Chain A
Amino acid sequence: MKRRDFLGGVGAVGTASVLSAPSLLTTAGRAMAQGNDIPVGLLFSLTGAVAVVESTLHNAALMAIEEINAAGGVHGRKLRPIIEDPASDPATYADRARRLMIRDKCVSVFGSYTSSSRQAVLPVTEQRKNLYWYPTLYEGRECSRNVMYGGAVPNQQQDVLVPWLVENFGPRFFMIGNNYVYPKEENNYCKSLLSELGGEVVSEEYVPMGHSDFSSVINRIRSEKPDVIFATVVGDSDVAFARQYHAAELDPEKMPVFSLTRSEVEVKAIGGEAAAGHFSSAPYFMGHKSPENEKFVEAYKSRYGGDQVTHFVSEAAYFQVYQFKAALEKLDPANITPEAIRDAAVGLKLKAPQGEILIDENLHTHLWPKIGQWQSNGQAEVLIQSEERVAPKPYAAYEGQTCTGEGLVKA
């Protein structure tokens, strides 16, 4: 008995020393600059719940990198994409971002879709003075000097949309969203707009993330009979919502859903028939007519398959790589640092698929808001296009706070 137990203990230690084998411990496998390449990180979930969307962002960003490389790179140097899979888990995002920024010495990292994953990366990118390119629309009220925000903030999504809704459909809004910060913040901003326009919120509902049975919500919509259903439901919840809304035979002619989050990806899963007649507000739709967009859609389809779709986040994932390239070109090749890239990027103009965009000094992007109505073929018909480029105001809902080139300024 004694002897066995002793060996048991020793064995445990034995394993410890086996573990200490350097091959397992030092993770510096494919790190470090290979020759003259510029290492850039790609941090999009390829597995897990968010992979549905993030895999398309990954594809778009990777395509842009390879297009740039095929055209000769930047200053004759190639971009070397280093790919990580954070598996839709914030802790893994933090871990993989450390790898990319510290170990692999990427000068920039492109990544993520959800707010929580961006927040997980934030401490690393700020502390290491790196640059994180975030392509997604988000709730605003963030003013990091180490994140490049490529998506719309509430004012860019709603300033055109909400007055148009009140005017054309009526003042009674039913708000439905997932239970997290983005929907709440969009609804906050919407409420402040509504109070100026004389609209009212008949109900404000939040369902848990991943919620998939909307029969209760639909019953409530049916009994409230609102003019507008203002939806910020995301991902597979939105797919379930749209399909059940359709199955309940609620008529988009009478009670249309206006979504800030529904894109071509979701519509593909919802099915054109169920999505038809409802609306989305976004700076980009796949069906938008511009030479840049035709080129983008064409390239994307020929690369990933004819049934693939582009959408307002993958467009940003794509153009952000080009913004990065344009910033690099302004720099001295010998002196490329993330912060130099950031400073070079400010004020940069670029012809993106959605139109000519501009990077604000607050590192958000000036965009072209549009309102599209979904058709049964899964594409949106752009009904309204903003006449001018709309500036990003991430603190629009908070009086006295502005995000500037020096960071957040409180009046």
Chain B
Amino acid sequence: MTSKFHYDLIALVIFAIVIAFGVPALMNYDGFELNTFARYLALAIASMALALSWGTAGLLNLGQAATFGMGSYAMAMHLKLRASDGLPDFMGWNNVSELPLIWVPFESLAFTLLAGLLIPAFIGGLTAVFMFRARIAGVFVAIITLAFLVAFQLLVINQQGMTGGQNGLTGLAQLSLPGWTVDPYSTGFYYLVAGCLTVALAIGVYLTHSKFGLILRAIREDADRTRFFGYNVATYQTAIFCLSAALAGWAGMLYTMVLEFASPTYMGVSFSLAIVIWCAVGGRESVIAAALGAIIVNMLEGRLSDVFVEGWHLMLGVIFVLVVMFMPRGIYGVITETAKRLHHPKRRHRKTDLQSSSTKQLETGQES
């Protein structure tokens, strides 16, 4: 535990206060606005989950959307069963006459919540064991997870009788917890999502500053050297992969509740790459920054698409390219660099000389 831990804790507390009090107050507790923002917060969990495996352990998981989708389908299956008396409607249309066995336990809410976390964790763990036992690293992790994602999405679409196919699971009930039916437009629901994000971030902050996080960073920097120190690299990598997958599943469950349906596009390549982009924009080194990245990009997307109906997609592309070129460490990097320079003005000249021209432009941009 370093003192950095305390500063991150302060950041986390302030972040939590802003999303708990600042944001709803600014929106006048309007149901629509809160619902929209709750969507961003759910996505922020997916983004921070990726920051754990990518930023901390250096494992770029392009299949993050697959585990996200598992969580969202787990929740959707439960809500679908609640909405239908007997067999869900789409099964009848696909000539499925009996509830498939894997659907049965989703009657229970407790099982659903557990499954939404544990199934992604288990599948994530399997892929991790499969890859890391063979010491697969770098770009190969990205490609294997990507291929897995494509195959998994195809499989889900293909099993139409079980998954609703291309349309996904629709016509869901609202989640009923003991004494509370969760209306996605309510302030209560917003707080539920905000609370989940805060807890997820707390876990993330704790982990990155624990010894576990330190070892992961060591693996990121040099896996062989860490191995020579006697650490079982594959075990650590698998652990963080599981955890990241579980968090993504958690995000998926909330996402289904916000949008009131589950779709195979949640497991699409473009969605998976979008998560990577959010994480990169925020800064992959910090879970809080990655969560912020998701919120900022989605807000920007919402805002741009509102104003420029024709050109918003193009603008997003331009922004991504600029961010990758000029902000290699994301918003987090800009902030830490600026802070460093403000506090070490003497070293400023030497530093600037060493930095690449791109960073220079970035920094002047920050000052003006």
- Residues of chain A having any CB pair with chain B under 8 Å: 2-17, 19-20, 22, 24-27, 29-30, 46-47, 83-85, 87, 89-91, 94-96, 98-99, 102-103, 114-116, 119-120, 122-124, 141, 179-181, 184-185, 188, 208-209, 398
Contacts and interface: CB of A to CB of B under 8 A. Distances in A.
B309 A83 contact: yes
A56 B341 CA distance: 54
A95 B26 CA distance: 20
Given A19-B292, A27-B302, A84-B309, 6 more contacts: A2-B3, A4-B343, A8-B4, A25-B33, A181-B93, A209-B157
Contact of B23 (A25, A30, A120): A25
- Interface hub of A8, A10, A19 (most chain B Cβ within 10 A): A8
Contacts of A208: 154, 157
Interface in B1-39: 2-4, 7-8, 10-11, 14-15, 18-19, 22-23, 26-27, 31-33, 35-37, 39
B66 interface: no
From A19, A114, A122, residue with most partner B Cβ within 10 Å:
A19
A180 to B, nearest CB: 3
27 contacts: A6-B4, A7-B335, A7-B336, A8-B336, A10-B7, A10-B11, A13-B11, A13-B14, A14-B335, A16-B292, A20-B18, A25-B23, A25-B299, A27-B36, A30-B306, A84-B305, A89-B270, A91-B266, A103-B33, A114-B166, A116-B166, A123-B261, A180-B165, A180-B166, A181-B166, A188-B93, A398-B92
B296 interface: yes
Contacts, number: 192
Contacts of B336: 4, 7-8, 11
A8 B339 contact: yes
**Which of B14, B90, B270, B342 has the most C-beta atoms of chain A within 10 angstroms of its own C-beta?**
B14
Interface of B: 2-4, 7-8, 10-11, 14-15, 18-19, 22-23, 26-27, 31-33, 35-37, 39, 90, 92-94, 154, 157-158, 160, 164-168, 170-172, 259-261, 263, 265-266, 270, 286, 288-289, 292, 295-296, 299-300, 302-303, 305-307, 309-310, 312-313, 331-332, 335-336, 338-340, 342-343
Contacts of B312: 85
A57 to B, nearest CB: 15
Nearest to A87: B313
B343 A3 contact: yes
Nearest to A13: B14
Contacts of B168: 90, 116, 119
Contacts of A120: 170, 259, 261, 263
B318 to A, nearest CB: 15
Contacts of A119: 167-168, 170-171, 261
A16 B170 CA distance: 34
A330 B209 CA distance: 67
* A2, A7, A9, A99: most-surrounded residue (chain B CB, <10 A): A9
